[in-house]
Copies of this chain bind each other. A is one copy, B any other.
Amino acid sequence: MTRGDLFSPACPTRRLLDRIGSKWTSMAVKVLAEAAPGEVRFADLRRRIPGISQKMLSVTLQSLVHDGLVARRVEPAVPVRVHYRLTELGLSLEVPLAALREWAEAHMAEIDEASAGR
């Protein structure tokens, strides 16, 4: 359907997953949630998310800020410091997300087993 597609206004879940399901978002949210209600600086986030590049961290945070899940605070210090923290909305998302995380930690081994099995 290349056309207008008025469908799929439905399922907000998919739209949510489109936002938080991208490669690095869940890890960023996790790190920010662990630090909540404190803030984390850009470079700290980078260190705590192994393998992420500056660009990807940047765009990931931008989208989270854009969606109102993360707040960005610029400290006008000498080399400018930028602090990130979860908003209230972000913190509320943390609840179901933590449940999903627990499930993942408990059951991903079974998925791996099934995937490897055949």
Contact = CB atoms under 8 A, between A and B. Distances in A.
A8 B104 contact: no
A51 interface: yes
A18 to B, nearest CB: 8
Interface stretch (A22-30, A35-43, A77-85): A22-30
B17 A21 contact: yes
B96 A102 contact: yes
Nearest to A16: B104
A50 to B, nearest CB: 5
Given A51-B7, A97-B100, A115 B68 contact: yes
A118 B103 CA distance: 35
A75 interface: no
A10 B92 CA distance: 24
A13 B111 contact: no
A51 B26 CA distance: 27
Contacts of A89: 107, 110-111, 114
A118 B66 CA distance: 7
